[in-house]
């Protein structure tokens, strides 16, 4: 059977899913409550930066296979399968995840459904959410035997979203019936046929896989960052340490890049949401170590400010600091919980004149932190700077020529908080180079 698929919530995750599913040959209707997003996507424009996505979107919009709407009536009428990709941010002032957007989507969609439908949750939710939503769906549905829920968490990374949608490490299907499993296997058949492992499980396991995976990744990053603290205290080199650890394939080199720590719209809030959920379940102690993972991570931001202060002789007023990077990582314009912007903000509060440049995230950053100065280029950001902070590891920054940059700065000092500039080249060009956990 050829399914007609709707994607509810067309942000970073949903827009990519909608375009990729259309590319796999399905008729897809993307839906969002944000009319500006829907208008842009309908014209084949991606309202954020994700490599490879725009050509895919445009091609499928032009072919008519992919459309967008703000109407739940249209969604219910069109779809056999509805993917829920709305946001689940951290609740204001709390650790817990805010599931109200997922709940709102279910409340709007289900009463409108008049034909057999599978709803597939892809958003990251606290364990127990799917089971609660399934009960609610049974209450809301005109014919509960026609509407079923599955939970299939998503593991794509921003910056690699298209590639990882097409070639994921695994697919996880949390289901309550063979019918739901069969539909999911059919929809993702082109991906499964490439040899992708499929884990079929209950709702709770599916929900837990996601938060467990993100917590593990965060733990790995904080682990290497504690080693960076030890390297700073002993003169050891954390990059070489990570290489040596990584050669052991039980450990692996990935996610062992020490530096400014993790940020973004996922790892920080998912880790905290997981701790909050453990507390609600009465097993808070099981996850107390994650508090330390979070604390280590937040310490990295202050560490950068402290080292910057040292390099500036603890004299902030009248000093110019160039900040290279605003996005939470390279290859995205996403600034959610960006460590780079957090550091830029702290340094600005100390009284230094901060000039930020990011190849893609300047506009987003300006909206959220309008008091910082934003530069149009690396050169512009660095003109007259007493210190250059390398905070987001964009390729453009790795390829900088320190000799050329040295001509425009006031002092040749660079703090490489991502530990990925070629320090020998920088030093050879007369710069004072500092890394984090490496000299
Ligand atoms: N960003 C990623 O790469 C990624 C990867 C895996 C999982 N996730 C998870 O996916 C979910 C979405 O994340 P995101 O980064 O795409 O968030 P996002 O904020 O970019 O997008 C969410 C979208 O949902 C829309 N929305 C909110 N309420 C709605 C409603 N009732 N009906 C329809 N649309 C509605 C918003 O307008 C927004 O466009 C989160 O749970 C996140 O943890 C994200
Ligand atoms: O060795 C490393 C690797 C990453 N990071 C940082 O960790 C953060 C997260 O990076 P990454 O995981 O690549 O980005 P996300 O797009 O947030 O992806 C994570 O969050 C998504 C949403 O849940 C999941 O789907 C992905 O599997 C998971 O990797 C960024 O700030 C990186 O700079 C490090 O500090 N050191």
Report yes or no: 147 and 110 within 8 Å, Cβ to Cβ. yes
Same domain, 192 and 308: no
3-state DSSP helix/strand/coil percent for the chain, to nearest 5? 45, 15, 40
Question: Can you list the residues of the chain whose pLDDT is less than 50?
Answer: none
At residue 2, the pLDDT reads: 87
Domains held by the chain: number: 2
Pick the catalytic residue: 85, 231, 266, 382? 266
Same domain, 306 and 319: yes
Render the burial of 276-299: b for 16+ CB within 10 Å, e for the rest: bbbeeeeeeeebeebeebbebbeb
DSSP string, 404-427: HHHTT-SS-EEEETTS-S-HHHHH
Same domain, 128 and 219: no
In angstroms, what is the span from residue 146 Cα to ligand 2's centroid?
38
Same domain, 171 and 259: no
In angstroms, what is the span from residue 430 Cα to ligand 2's centroid?
34
pTM exceeding 0.80:
yes
- Return the number of other C-beta atoms located less than 10 Å from residue 161's C-beta: 24
Q: Give how far Cα 183 sits from Cα of 2, 363, 379, Å.
A: 10, 41, 53
Give residue for tokens 């690396």: 378
Same domain, 258 and 400: yes
Q: Whose CA is nearest to atom 39 of ligand 1?
A: 11
Q: Which two tokens stand for residue 393?
A: 């590891």
Q: Is the CB of 11 under 6 A from ligand 1?
A: yes
Round to whole Å and give the CA distance between 206 and 174: 5
Same domain, 98 and 74: yes
Which positions make up the binding site? 32, 37, 88, 124, 155-158, 210, 255-259, 263, 269, 329, 336
- Return the number of other C-beta atoms located less than 10 Å from residue 398's C-beta: 14
Q: Is the CB of 9 under 6 A from ligand 1?
A: yes
Give tens-digit pLDDT for 343-370. Answer: 999 999 999 999 999 999 999 999 999 9
Same domain, 90 and 170: yes
Round to whole Å and give the CA distance between 36 and 23: 23
Same domain, 250 and 370: yes
User: End of a domain among 140, 172, 201?
Assistant: 201
Q: Which two tokens stand for residue 298?
A: 């937040």
Determine the atom of ligand 2 nearest the C-alpha atom of 339. Answer: 31
In angstroms, what is the span from residue 13 Cα to ligand 1's centroid?
6
Q: Is the CB of 301 under 6 A from ligand 1?
A: no
Q: Give how far Cα 262 sits from Cα of 4, 235, 377, Å.
A: 37, 24, 25
φ, ψ of residue 38 to 5 degrees: the values are -65, -40
- Looking at every residue in the chain, the average pLDDT score rounds to 97
Same domain, 132 and 255: no
For residue 158, give the CATH number of its domain.
3.40.50.720
Q: Which residue range is the domain that position 129 belongs to?
A: 4-201
Same domain, 151 and 15: yes
Ligand nearest to the CA of 228: 2
Same domain, 197 and 238: no
Give tens-digit pLDDT for 187-204. Answer: 999 999 999 999 999 999
Q: Which two tokens stand for residue 214?
A: 């993100």
Same domain, 232 and 378: yes
Q: Does 231 participate in catalysis according to the annotation?
A: no
């Amino acid at each position: 059977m050829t399914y007609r698929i709707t994607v509810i919530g067309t942000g970073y995750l949903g827009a990519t899913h909608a375009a990729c599913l259309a590319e796999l040959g399905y008729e897809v209707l993307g839906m969002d409550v944000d009319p500006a997003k829907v208008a842009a996507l309908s014209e084949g424009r991606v309202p954020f930066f994700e490599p490879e996505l725009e050509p895919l979107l445009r091609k499928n919009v032009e072919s008519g296979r992919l459309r967008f709407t703000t109407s739940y009536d249209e969604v219910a009428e069109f779809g056999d399968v509805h993917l829920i990709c709305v946001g689940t941010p951290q609740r204001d002032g709390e650790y817990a995840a805010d599931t109200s957007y997922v709940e709102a989507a279910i409340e709007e969609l289900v009463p409108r459904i008049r034909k057999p439908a599978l709803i597939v949750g892809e958003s990251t939710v606290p364990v127990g959410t799917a089971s609660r939503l399934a009960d609610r769906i049974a209450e809301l549905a005109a014919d509960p035997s026609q509407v079923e829920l599955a939970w299939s968490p998503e593991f794509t990374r921003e910056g690699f979203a298209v590639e990882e949608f097409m070639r994921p490490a695994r697919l996880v299907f949390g289901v309550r019936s063979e019918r739901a499993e069969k539909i999911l296997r059919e929809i993702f058949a082109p991906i499964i046929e490439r040899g992708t492992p499929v884990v079929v499980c209950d709702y709770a396991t599916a929900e837990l896989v996601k938060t467990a995976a993100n917590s593990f990744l965060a733990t790995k990053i904080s682990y290497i960052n504690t080693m960076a603290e030890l390297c700073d205290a002993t003169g050891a080199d954390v990059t070489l340490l990570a290489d040596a650890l990584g050669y052991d394939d039980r450990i692996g080199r990935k996610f062992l890049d020490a530096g400014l720590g993790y940020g973004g719209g996922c790892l920080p809030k998912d880790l905290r949401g997981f701790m909050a959920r453990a507390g609600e379940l009465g097993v808070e102690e099981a996850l107390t170590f994650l508090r330390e993972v979070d604390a280590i991570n937040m310490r990295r931001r202050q560490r950068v400010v402290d080292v910057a202060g040292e390099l500036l002789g603890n004299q902030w007023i009248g000093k110019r600091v160039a900040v290279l990077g605003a996005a939470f990582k390279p290859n995205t314009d996403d600034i959610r919980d960006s460590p780079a912007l957090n550091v830029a903000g702290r340094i600005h509060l100390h009284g230094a004149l901060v000039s930020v440049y990011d190849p893609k995230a300047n506009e987003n950053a300006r909206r959220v932190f309008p008091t910082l100065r934003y530069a149009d280029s690396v050169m512009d950001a660095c003109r007259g700077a007493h210190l250059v902070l390398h905070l987001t590891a964009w390729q453009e920054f790795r390829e900088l020529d320190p000799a050329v940059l040295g001509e425009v700065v006031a002092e040749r000092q660079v703090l490489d908080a991502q530990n990925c500039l070629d320090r020998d080249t920088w030093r050879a060009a007369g710069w004072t180079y500092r890394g984090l956990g490496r000299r």
